[in-house]
Amino acid sequence: MTLSELLEDGPVIVDFWATWCKPCIKAFPDLQEIFDKYRGCGLKVLAVSIDGPKSMSRVGSLIKSKGNTFEVLFDPSQKVARKFHVTSVPRTVLVDTNGNITYAVTGYRPKNHAELDAAVGELLPGDCPEDVDETGETEETTGE
C-alpha cells in the first residue's frame, strides 16, 4: 500500500499511535466519526501503530474492541513515522490529494476533532458529505 495510491481517491488522515498511549486511544472515536462522515467522499484513515514486536499482538484486538473500521498499519521500526517527523504520539496528519500536509497536530485535545473535521471538509467538494444512513446508503431527501 502506498500513500500516492490512496490519494487518488481523496485525502488521507495518517494517525500515528501506540497501544500504550492513552491519548491515542481517546482520539479513536473522533477519527472514526470523521471517517464515517467523509468516507463516501474518498477520505481514507490510516492508523499507523508504532508498537514494537512485544506489543504488536495487542493492536488488532484493541482496534476491534473500539469498533474502529479504518485501516490499521504497522510501523515497528518507525521508518514511516520518521518521514512524517513524528517525535511523540498521537500524531495526526492530513494529506491532500497532491501529497501536501494540510493539517498536523501532536497530542490529543477534544478541540482537535473540530479542527480536523473542518480541515477535511475544506479539501472535499461542497456537496460532501451527502446524507448517509446507518448502512452507508445515500438518503433521498424530499425537502419536507
Name the strands in the sheet holding 101-106, side by side, starting at the edge strand that comes first in the sequence.
71-74, 44-49, 12-17, 91-95, 101-106
Does 119 map to a domain? yes
Q: State the Cα–Cα distance between residues 5 and 55, nearest whole angstrom.
A: 29
Amino acid letter, 144? E
Confidence of residue 141 (pLDDT cuts 50, 70, 90): very low
Does 46 map to a domain? yes
pLDDT in tens, 56-109: 889 988 888 889 999 999 999 999 999 999 999 999 999 999 999 999 999 999
Please name which of 16, 13, 62, 53 lies closest in space to residue 37, comparing C-alpha atoms.
Answer: 13
Does 132 map to a domain? no
Domain of 117, CATH number, reads 3.40.30.10
Of residues 125 and 133, more confidence is placed in: 125
Tally the domains of the chain: 1
Does 137 map to a domain? no
Does 53 map to a domain? yes
Residue 68 makes CB contacts below 8 A (sequence gap 6+) with: 28, 31, 32, 47
pLDDT in tens, 12-40: 999 999 999 999 999 999 999 999 999 99
- Total residues found in the chain within this entry: 144
Does 9 map to a domain? yes
Does 130 map to a domain? no
Q: Which long-range contacts link 63-67 to residues 24+ away (Cβ below 8 Å)?
A: 66/25, 66/28, 66/29, 66/32, 67/32
End-to-end distance of the chain based on CA atoms, in angstroms?
Answer: 44
